[in-house]
C-alpha cells in the first residue's frame, strides 16, 4: 500500500464516510458528487468531450483507433452522477487504451426507478449498433452501480446473440437483494461506504421492483457465450462479494474472468487517478485488457 493510499483511506474514513452517512437524500447526493468530481476526479491534458446525435457523450484524450469504442456507465448508486462527473478518469482510460469512450446519460432512480436505467443502457448499445459498430468492436465498462449496469447489459447481449468483445467493471454493484456476506463482514473495514444507508438507497432505486431481476442485479442473470470479463474490487469493501460472486457466476457460463483485488483500496479506486498510484496501475491493466479484446481477430 502506497503512502498516498494510506492517507486517502484515513481521509475517506474521517470525512467522506460520515458525510455519506448523513446525506439527506438523492438530490443532495447528486449535488455532492458533481461538486467533488470537479475537485477530485482529475482530467488529463487535451481532453475532448463531444455530444453527438442521440445525446451520447464521447470522451477521448489522444489518438484513438477507428471504429472501436468503450461503452462506459458512470457510477453513483443510481441516484447521482453523469457523463460530466466521470469524464476525467474515463479520458485517462481512453488515452491509455487508444480507444474512444462513449458515456450515455441514463435516468437516475429519483426520476425513474429501476429498471429504467437498464432500458437507457440498452438503448445506448442499440444506438452504437445503428451507428455501424459491430458487437466485436464494443467493450462494456462501468464503476459501482454503472459496473452493475454494464454487466446487466452484458447478460442481455449474451442472450440476444449480440455479445460485445468483453466487459470490465470497477467495484460493481451486482446484488440489490443484499445477500452479500461482506455487507456485514466489512461494515467497519470499508473506509468509504456506510452500510447503514444501503437499504434506504435500494428502496429508492427499486420503488418496489424485484431486487433479483437480472436487469438490476446481474448476479442472478444468465450469460450464455459470455466474452472475457475483468473485475476489480477492494477486499475491505462492503461490495467485495458483489464482485467475487459475480466472477463465479460468469465462470459458470464459461466466461474467462480476471479479478484484480486490492487489499485496502477503497470503492472505485481507479477513478482517483493522479492521487494514488494504485489508480493509474489499475487503469493501465484495464487498458491493456481492452486492447487485447479489440486486437483479437478470432472474435
pLDDT at 299 over 70: no
Position 296 scores a pLDDT of 78
Q: Give the tens place of pLDDT for each residue, 152-176.
A: 999 999 999 999 999 999 999 999 9
Domain ranges within the chain, ordered by starting residue: 3-294
What CATH topology corresponds to 3-294? Rossmann fold (3.40.50)
Q: Give the tens place of pLDDT for each residue, 256-270.
A: 999 999 999 999 999
pLDDT at 26 over 90: yes
Over residues 87-100, mean pLDDT: 98
CA dist., res. 288 & res. 165, Å (int): 14
pLDDT at 203 over 70: yes
Q: Which of 86, 171, 182, 237 is catalytic?
A: 237
Neighbouring C-alpha atoms within 13 Å toward the C-beta of 84: 11
Position 53 scores a pLDDT of 81
Q: Is 267 a catalytic residue?
A: yes
* φ/ψ bin of 287: left (φ > 0), alpha (ψ from -120 to 50), beta (otherwise): alpha
Q: Give the tens place of pLDDT for each residue, 116-158.
A: 999 999 999 999 999 999 999 999 999 999 999 999 999 999 9
Where does the pLDDT of residue 298 fall: very low under 50, low under 70, confident under 90, or very high at 90 and above?
A: low
What's the whole-number average pLDDT of the chain? 97
Helices (H), the chain: 3-11, 17-22, 26-40, 83-97, 116-130, 145-159, 182-185, 198-206, 240-252, 277-295
Helices (H), 41-82: none
Position 171 scores a pLDDT of 98
Position 54 scores a pLDDT of 82
Q: How far is CA 1 from CA 57, 265, 283, in A?
A: 35, 8, 17
Position 297 scores a pLDDT of 54
Q: Which of 60, 144, 171, 182 is catalytic?
A: 144
Position 283 scores a pLDDT of 98
Position 258 scores a pLDDT of 98
Over residues 188-206, mean pLDDT: 97
Q: Is 57 a catalytic residue?
A: no
Amino acid at each position: 500500500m502506497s503512502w498516498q493510499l494510506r492517507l486517502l483511506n484515513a481521509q475517506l474514513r474521517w470525512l467522506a464516510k460520515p458525510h455519506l452517512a448523513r446525506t439527506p437524500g438523492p438530490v443532495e447526493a447528486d449535488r455532492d458528487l458533481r461538486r467533488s468530481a470537479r475537485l477530485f476526479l482529475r482530467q488529463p491534458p487535451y481532453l475532448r468531450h463531444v455530444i453527438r446525435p442521440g445525446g451520447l457523450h464521447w470522451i477521448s484524450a489522444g489518438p484513438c483507433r477507428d471504429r472501436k469504442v468503450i461503452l462506459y456507465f458512470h457510477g453513483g448508486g443510481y441516484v447521482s452522477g453523469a457523463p460530466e462527473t466521470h469524464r476525467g478518469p474515463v479520458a485517462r482510460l481512453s488515452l491509455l487504451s487508444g480507444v474512444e469512450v462513449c458515456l450515455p446519460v441514463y435516468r437516475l432512480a429519483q426520476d425513474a426507478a429501476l429498471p429504467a436505467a437498464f432500458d437507457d443502457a440498452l438503448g445506448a448499445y442499440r444506438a452504437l449498433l445503428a451507428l455501424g459498430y459491430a458487437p466485436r468492436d464494443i467493450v462494456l465498462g462501468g464503476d459501482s452501480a454503472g459496473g452493475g449496469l454494464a454487466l446487466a447489459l452484458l447478460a442481455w447481449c449474451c442472450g440476444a446473440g449480440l455479445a460485445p468483445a468483453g466487459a470490465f467493471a470497477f467495484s460493481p454493484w451486482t446484488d440489490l437483494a443484499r445477500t452479500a456476506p461482506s455487507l456485514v463482514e466489512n461494515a467497519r473495514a470499508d473506509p468509504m461506504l456506510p452500510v447503514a444507508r444501503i437499504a434506504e438507497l435500494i428502496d429508492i432505486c427499486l420503488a418496489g421492483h424485484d431486487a433479483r431481476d437480472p436487469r438490476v442485479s446481474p448476479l442472478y442473470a444468465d450469460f450464455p457465450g459470455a466474452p472475457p470479463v475483468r473485475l476489480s474490487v477492494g477486499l475491505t469493501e462492503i461490495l467485495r462479494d458483489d464482485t467475487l460472486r459475480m466472477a463465479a457466476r460468469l465462470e459458470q457460463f464459461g466466461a474467462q474472468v480476471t479479478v484484480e483485488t486490492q487489499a485496502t483500496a477503497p470503492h472505485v479506486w481507479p477513478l482517483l487517478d493522479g492521487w494514488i498510484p494504485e489508480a493509474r496501475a489499475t487503469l493501465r491493466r484495464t487498458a491493456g485488457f481492452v486492447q487485447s479484446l479489440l486486437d483479437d481477430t478470432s472474435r
